[in-house]
Amino acid sequence: MSTPLLRHFIDGEFVASTKTFANISPVDGRLLGQVCEADRPLVERAVAAAKAAQSGPWAHYSPSQRADLLLDIANGIQRRFEAFVAAEVADTGRPVQQARTLDVARAVQNFRTFAELLRQSGSELFEMRSADGNDVFSYSVRKPHGVVAIISPWNLPLLLLTWKVAPALACGNSVVIKPSEETPSTATLLAEVMQEAGVPAGAFNLVHGFGPNSAGEFLTTHPDVDAITFTGESRTGATIMKAAAEGVREVSFELGGKNAAVVFADCDFDAAVAGVLRSSFTNSGQVCLCSERVYVERPIYERFVAALKAGAEQLKIGYPDEDGVNMGSLISHKHRDKVLDYFQLALEEGATLVSGGAVPQFGDARDQGAYVQPTLWTDLPDHARCLREEIFGPVCHIAPFDSEEEVLRRVNDSAYGLATALWTRDLKRAHQLSRRFRVGMVWVNTWFLRDLRTPFGGTRLSGLGREGGRHSLDFYSEITTICVNP
């Protein structure tokens, strides 16, 4: 029985290439199919198609027409909803319920949200009187950058890809996307939807491949790419930033995190336990916003550790389509090995293992997958590598604290600055502390709740720039001021 071949999508057509690589299931290690790998000439062909689209029919779409097209794309994903779910689950091993309620649902919402924002967006207009007495008017207009390179990650493949594609197209850009080599399937399905929706040739292009000396490097170093947006690890972001310096291209980076959850003694205890379980173990900890450092006020510390241990040990690990499953596999055996190395390092650094710390045994095909147990540690010193480096797995370390100033200092003592979750009933404290955390996002008594109109991004090693709402439209646009003296 032959396996599927996932092809590139360039200038409105699917294109195969000679070189391929395997797409392996993280659930049971079986071969899902083969994926075409782009060489430099093929990436150049994709960029050329995107550049040509800026002079073709796509260039003449009005904002209203682009908004209508985004809605057509959203409806196309909705029509093929279960196919997207199946592809996302096959590539990632995540629970089917998560793929339905988060990943694919959010992809539809991304296109609908930016269609609405595009219709509502306006320009700035100012008037002033010049020295010679004339009334002068200045207004701004948005223009596309041209060709935007989109590099998306494997942890939330469709969600984060569409988070970038939707506003880029809304602003009239042409895009060349490179999804992670670990998760190529939903990007290919999205190309099919683009074709069905009638997206003009060259406006949306897809190339598969890897990073160094492959599609990622060929794309980000191409001189005809006008802007680059990337979500992924910080080291890769630094490499792309060096490439973007040639030609001084626009960049937007959402990078890694070593996020904290802060739990005060006055919190709603059950809600805080449930919230930290969710923020630590959703998607097997493979979300850049997950909490890997948890600080609990000392009066409730022992009780909180016990409750978190009980909750973690009740999480069901299993096949994506099992009833009640909470956690699937990690993305790959390679990534599981990295996480397991940190499990060993934590013990060497003095951690007390509260729960987990091993590979579950199933006695079936899942033993060939990339599973690990949800894991809790205590007693690590703040300088431990396991508290300084992003692990990106289902793990958190729990530590006590005694004062606001202490926990503020410890939370901010990080090279990262993406998100913090704060659990307290004292809203005065919540407002004051939230301003002082050196992060791009603070959740108070919740986690992963997003209004897509708000800015999103990180500080320091967690990223550069903001996307979401008007901020996405600003990044994906070249803004020109026109000054008129009547």
Which residues are identified as catalytic? 254
Instruction: Provide the total of helices (H) and of strands (E) in the chain, helices listed first.
Output: 16, 23
Q: How many CA atoms lie within 13 A of 35 on its CB side?
A: 26
Q: Where are the beta strands (DSSP E) in 7-100?
A: 8-10, 13-15, 20-24, 31-36
d(CA 117, CA 135): 31
Which spans in 138-268 are helix H? Answer: 157-170, 185-197, 215-220, 234-245
**Dist CA 460 CA 415 (whole Å):** 6
305: left (phi over 0), alpha (psi -120 to 50) or beta: alpha
Residue entry with tokens 């949200």: 113
What are the CB-based long-range contacts (under 8 Å, 24+) for 331-334? 331/26, 331/92, 331/93, 331/154, 331/155, 331/182, 331/183, 331/286, 331/370, 332/24, 332/26, 332/182, 332/370, 333/26, 333/29, 333/370
Question: DSSP state, 422?
Answer: E
Alpha carbon separation from 78 to 72, 100, 105, 402, 456 (Å, rounded):
10, 11, 8, 49, 25
The C-alpha atoms of residue 229 and residue 227 are separated, in whole angstroms, by 7
For tokens 């000396």, the residue is 213
Q: What is the DSSP letter of 2?
A: P
Task: With beta carbons less than 8 A apart as the criterion, state whether 179 and 6 touch.
Answer: no
